[in-house]
Structure 1
Amino acid sequence: MLHYRTEGYNGYAIKYSPFFDNRLACAASANFGLVGNGRLYILGLTAQGIVGEKWFDTQDGLFDTAWSEIHENQIGVASGDGSIKLFDIALNEFPIMQWQEHQKEVFSLFWNPIQKDQFASSSWDGTVKLWTPGSPRSLSTYRTNSCTYSTSFSPHNPHMLSCVSSDSTLRIFDTRSPSAPAGPAGMMQQTGTMPSVSIPVSPMAPAELLTHDWNKYRPETIAVGGVDRVVRVFDIRAPGQPISELRGHNYAVKKLVWSPHWAGVLSSGGYDMSVRIWDDGVLVDAFGPGHGAGPGGPGTLGPPKVGKMLGVFDRHSEFVAGLDWCLFGGEGWIASAGWDESVWVWDAKAVMRGVRVGMR
């Protein structure tokens, strides 16, 4: 277990480099992001612990960061002033590119892992934007008309762009063309920049959605979490209800990430200052043989399965805002960042053995 202090700055996001297993980036804000500067930390994992290799200061708080998938030294940040900046860590502190189209805070940034010359941003201004590093303007704008906290690309389909918003809705857009279908046949299709799929999450008791992520092994599976403390797993082939629910957080779920090593395992961090490791309880294709015949007939699901909590990491003493799994080396390593000015790097396998790792 390794620790690094982001003194004076509260962590909002942590990301492993897609090129190096010993390099991390942490996006942080002074004064919990309410007012003041931001700082992007470039961190190295060494035999002596975590070392701060470099940092970049910004005039406004930073809420997210995303490594380039095509250039090992380039990294983007999402800022509270509505801007997106691209830094080259081999150069001095000034960004090599900057975009200013969002009208409010940019809260999420995600690089396309397949079509690697594209990345996406989402903002409190109710839009998601598609970008390429070489263009001074966005390629497309997708409107949610609600505060949009998280955006992501499917790791299986380079044209499938998703987001979750304050109106308790998961939306999936197709980035190819207004008339192109998004994903498997049978999914709802609309024209323009309207979502190809729109899933109202917990429609009986709507709550703000703060985070979501695509399963790395099951192309139709996506997990969402938010203010109501429940992590819900959906199969987008039958989005009427979740296939699994994970309950255990005491306060809002701020970040969740599927494991790159185990198909049914994900991590979630939240305002209860904990990181929890889960088995989603979906052991096979949620539809089963013949694509399922739940109580509602073909193409529907039975009651949601109940996921199992595998363990709790409890070292943070403030909100956990950032999580990421390492793609390389021994499977199971996680980095977490929080408002307690702490970055932790730890082995999820120890937590999954039932050990509660922490101070409380």
Structure 2
Amino acid sequence: MEKVFRCAGRHGYAVEVSPFLPRRVACAAAQHYGIAGCGTLLVLEETETGVALVRSWQWGDGLFDVAWSEANEHVLVAGGGDGSLQLWDTANHSAPLRAAKEHTQEVYSVDWSQTRGENLIVSGSWDQTAKVWDPSLSQSLSTLRGHEGVIYSTVWSPHIPGCFASASGDGTLRIWDVKSAACRLAVPAHKAEILSCDWCKYDQNIMATGSVDCSVCVWDLRNVRQPVNQLLGHTYAIRRVKFSPFSKTVLASCSYDFTVRFWDFSMNPPLLETVEHHSEFVCGLDFNLHIPNQVVDCSWDETVKIYTPACLSAGTHSTAR
């Protein structure tokens, strides 16, 4: 059963399921399609009958991404159009715990490290830099430069401490080492802007990129001369790609073509299903880590949807093969 939350006047940009609470979801949203106006951070709870609002906060500029703390179930970080990162606490009803503004343009991506023994945030901005922060957001620990275009996506490796990937408008996917503050690998992954990247949860060498060229490419970082697979079917830019936490070869992508697509890159053809349940750009997408094959997405049509796609509910892709 599909469950829907309507956020009137707010266009969804990103969703993330809590790493601690299986039915809790955060959504970063903006007024006026993110072009002007303010932003809203929503914390939602799936109930037996639908989706309830737990907490919402307003921010003076659009919010484009959100990530839950991996250390504290109440804390989230969001990235704003004013170049800021804000730390929010669901127990604190009013202002953010802290806001840091070092980026000079929109912060389009935030991510909280998942590997044990480190607690770091990475941000990616339209100012072409990525910054690494400790969770106090007092000041950035390092600024990484190298991209020649806007950074749309920054994602920590779930396997390798101090390592994150970034995707950019310059058409490259880059792998960074935080300790040396250096780019370890630059992959010319697409001949167009790359809006999203993600790591396979089961193999530290496998990544996916989603591009304005309408393709998702799966990469083996040990040999980047050509992709492992190129997933074709979307008809407009791909806004976000996410690997399944429950299957090694399954991933999802959402697009400006209003669809969410599910793929198994080990199969031929790789397309498992196309979900068409939005009437606008689909920008946010996440798998639930706790509930196998449950997916959350959000769209510019002012809705957040929680559902299990038919292709995954059959059980054929429920195990890590």
TM normalised by structure 1 equals 0.84
- Residue 238 to residue 9, structure 1, CA distance change in 2 (3 Å): same
AA aligned to 1:225 is G
- Residue 351 to residue 261, structure 1, CA distance change in 2 (3 Å): closer
- SS for the counterpart of 2:110 is strand
In the alignment, the residues of structure 2 paired with residue 155 and residue 37 of structure 1 have an alpha-carbon distance, to the nearest angstrom, of: 32
Say which of 161, 180, 192 aligns to 2:164: 161
Say which of 276, 290, 306 aligns to 1:314: 276
Structure-2 residue corresponding to 1:285: none
> Do the aligned partners of 1:244 and 1:307 also contact (CA within 8 Å) in 2?
no
> Which structure's CA Rg is the greater one?
1
Shift of 1:351: 6.2
Whether 1:343 aligns to 2:304 is yes
In the alignment, the residues of structure 2 paired with residue 259 and residue 145 of structure 1 have an alpha-carbon distance, to the nearest angstrom, of: 30
AA aligned to 1:336 is D
> Do the aligned partners of 1:311 and 1:351 also contact (CA within 8 Å) in 2?
no
Structure-2 residue corresponding to 1:62: 63
In the alignment, the residues of structure 2 paired with residue 222 and residue 112 of structure 1 have an alpha-carbon distance, to the nearest angstrom, of: 17
Shift of 1:201: 1.3
AA aligned to 2:15 is I
Whether 1:249 aligns to 2:237 is no
- SS for the counterpart of 2:33 is helix
Structure-1 residue corresponding to 2:144: 142
> Do the aligned partners of 2:272 and 2:311 also contact (CA within 8 Å) in 1?
no
Structure-2 residue corresponding to 1:93: 94
> Do the aligned partners of 1:312 and 1:351 also contact (CA within 8 Å) in 2?
no
In the alignment, the residues of structure 2 paired with residue 103 and residue 122 of structure 1 have an alpha-carbon distance, to the nearest angstrom, of: 11
Structure-2 residue corresponding to 1:223: 208
Structure-1 residue corresponding to 2:125: 123
In the alignment, the residues of structure 2 paired with residue 167 and residue 352 of structure 1 have an alpha-carbon distance, to the nearest angstrom, of: 37
Structure-2 residue corresponding to 1:36: 37
Say which of 165, 175, 180 aligns to 2:178: 175
Structure-1 residue corresponding to 2:134: 132
> Do the aligned partners of 1:69 and 1:116 also contact (CA within 8 Å) in 2?
no
% identical equivalent positions: 39
- SS for the counterpart of 1:196 is strand
In the alignment, the residues of structure 1 paired with residue 237 and residue 74 of structure 2 have an alpha-carbon distance, to the nearest angstrom, of: 34
- SS for the counterpart of 2:183 is coil
Structure-1 residue corresponding to 2:318: none
Shift of 1:344: 0.6
What's the Cα RMSD here?
1.3
The answer for unaligned runs of 5 or more in structure 2 is 315-321
- Residue 28 to residue 40, structure 1, CA distance change in 2 (3 Å): same
In the alignment, the residues of structure 2 paired with residue 248 and residue 32 of structure 1 have an alpha-carbon distance, to the nearest angstrom, of: 25
Alignment of 1:204-353 (within 5 A): 206-281=191-266, 308-329=270-291, 331-350=292-311
> Do the aligned partners of 2:100 and 2:137 also contact (CA within 8 Å) in 1?
no
Structure-1 residue corresponding to 2:54: 53
> Do the aligned partners of 2:112 and 2:156 also contact (CA within 8 Å) in 1?
yes
In the alignment, the residues of structure 1 paired with residue 252 and residue 136 of structure 2 have an alpha-carbon distance, to the nearest angstrom, of: 34
TM normalised by structure 2 equals 0.94
In the alignment, the residues of structure 2 paired with residue 259 and residue 337 of structure 1 have an alpha-carbon distance, to the nearest angstrom, of: 17
AA aligned to 1:8 is G
In the alignment, the residues of structure 1 paired with residue 46 and residue 150 of structure 2 have an alpha-carbon distance, to the nearest angstrom, of: 35
AA aligned to 1:335 is V
Say which of 170, 176, 184 aligns to 1:196: 184
> Do the aligned partners of 1:212 and 1:223 also contact (CA within 8 Å) in 2?
yes
Shift of 1:349: 3.8
Shift of 1:42: 0.6
Query: What are the Cα deviations for residues 168-207 of structure 1, in whole angstroms up to 9, with x where unaligned?
Result: 0001111122xxxxxxxxxxxxxxx4411010113xxx10
Shift of 1:350: 4.6
In the alignment, the residues of structure 1 paired with residue 62 and residue 301 of structure 2 have an alpha-carbon distance, to the nearest angstrom, of: 16
In the alignment, the residues of structure 2 paired with residue 280 and residue 160 of structure 1 have an alpha-carbon distance, to the nearest angstrom, of: 24
Shift of 1:129: 0.4
- SS for the counterpart of 1:195 is strand
Shift of 1:281: 1.8
> Do the aligned partners of 1:170 and 1:201 also contact (CA within 8 Å) in 2?
yes
Structure-2 residue corresponding to 1:26: 27
The answer for unaligned runs of 5 or more in structure 1 is 178-192, 283-305, 354-360
- SS for the counterpart of 1:32 is helix
